[in-house]
Structure 1
């Protein structure tokens, strides 16, 4: 729960600190500008609110690791929801409208998470999770998207160290393999998910694991 609060609060602050011209810059998500990513974050915040307001009576069917599915190929942008996100982002017109909407819905999602009982069972995507596991999913999601947000903004602050460490732990569990200890948490996430190509030295350290990367998760 604390990891979610730290990561989510830092992501909201990163969006709030964006200059208007930053919204037209590319993000770390292939094919998306920063404005498209922020629009996606609005949808993420809505997801958190909807899921926390959807209690379930049955036992959990997945956890923070099994939530994720590893794809064989990266997204092409042809997915209808991805295409809709780009159109929605453009429809906002002014950057301040996107910032306002994300701050409004994002702060509500943060409050709802803080009020939710950790052991409460909730449902999303036809699966059941405990609140703790569901919010852990969003530690990885928000940390990766924070990195995407600042990919071309060298002066922007990185995600909090605790969130980076927890996100790395989750990605390693998804992979079933630990990243080399020489990798920083940030580099493990960027290389592990294909957001950055590994150097020759990193490839050598990864060994056989390098052949399984990147992990395209969604």
Structure 2
């Protein structure tokens, strides 16, 4: 829990600082998550970063039934769920017309979660909006994934170097690779593993051969 909470905080602080350097034109840049522009993707990340506030205010489920890897199962990526996710972010974004409003909304979202986490008892369970019963730690890992991986998408859209923090990179890479190191022949650092495993950077023919020969498998979102 401590590692996930620290990674969440670090990544949110970094993104918070980036958002406050944007100009109005940046908000309308296209992203690799069409049809979202930067403002829509930030709205999505803000909503995700703030979800734990309401979840921790609700009664806990009796037992955990889904872990962090299971949360990213195929049911989260069916067309109707995808369409609802896209439309929700665009509706929220329409109400945030300028950089100051966009940045302030993200600040309020992640800081609300940060405060709620600090007050949560050890071993707390939560239920997601999809109905998944999870440990708080496992759900928090999914929040690190959301902020960290979409941070890579935002960096690309803004033509900036990725700002993924070391703590968040470790949490995300560990989830994607199920806690195993990538095959030594690849020479990947955590950022490269995340980019390759999430399709942000394609595998070369040589990398694919090493991965297949080693029988290496990573979490496939929606798979």
Q: TM-score, normalised by structure 2?
A: 0.81
Once structures 1 and 2 are overlaid, which stretch shifts more, 79-88 or 35-44? 79-88
Structure 1 stretches lacking a partner, 5+ long = none
Q: Please report the RMSD computed on the Cα atoms of aligned residues, expressed in angstroms.
A: 3.1
* 1:56-71 mapped onto 2 (5 Å cutoff): 56-70=60-74
Question: Do the aligned partners of residues 44 and 66 (structure 1) sit closer, same or farther apart at CA in structure 2, a change above 3 Å counting?
Answer: same
* Contact 1:7 1:160 (C-alpha < 8 Å) held by counterparts: yes
1:102-132 deviation digits (Å, cap 9, x = unpaired)? 2222221222223222311122122222222
Asked if 1:161 corresponds to 2:173, the answer is no
Equivalent residues in 2 for 1:193-212, closer than 5 Å: 193-207=198-212
Quick check: 123-132 or 8-17, which moved more?
A: 8-17
**Aligned to 1:29, what secondary structure does the other structure show?**
coil
Superposition map of 1:85-124 within 5 A: 85-124=89-128
Residue in structure 2 matched with residue 148 of structure 1 by the alignment: 153
| Structure 1 outlier segments of 4+, above 4 Å | 70-78, 208-214
Count of matched residue positions in the alignment of Structure 1 and Structure 2? 216
Task: Pick the structure with more helix per residue.
Answer: 2
C-alpha displacement at 1:185, in angstroms?
A: 1.2
Q: Give the alignment of 1:1-218 within 5 angstroms.
A: 1-70=5-74, 79-124=83-128, 125-173=130-178, 179-181=182-184, 182-207=187-212, 215-217=220-222
TM-score of the superposition, structure 1-length normalised? 0.82
Question: Does the C-alpha gap of structure 1 residues 42 and 152 become closer, same or farther in structure 2, counting only changes over 3 Å?
Answer: closer
Partner of 2:11, secondary structure, is: helix
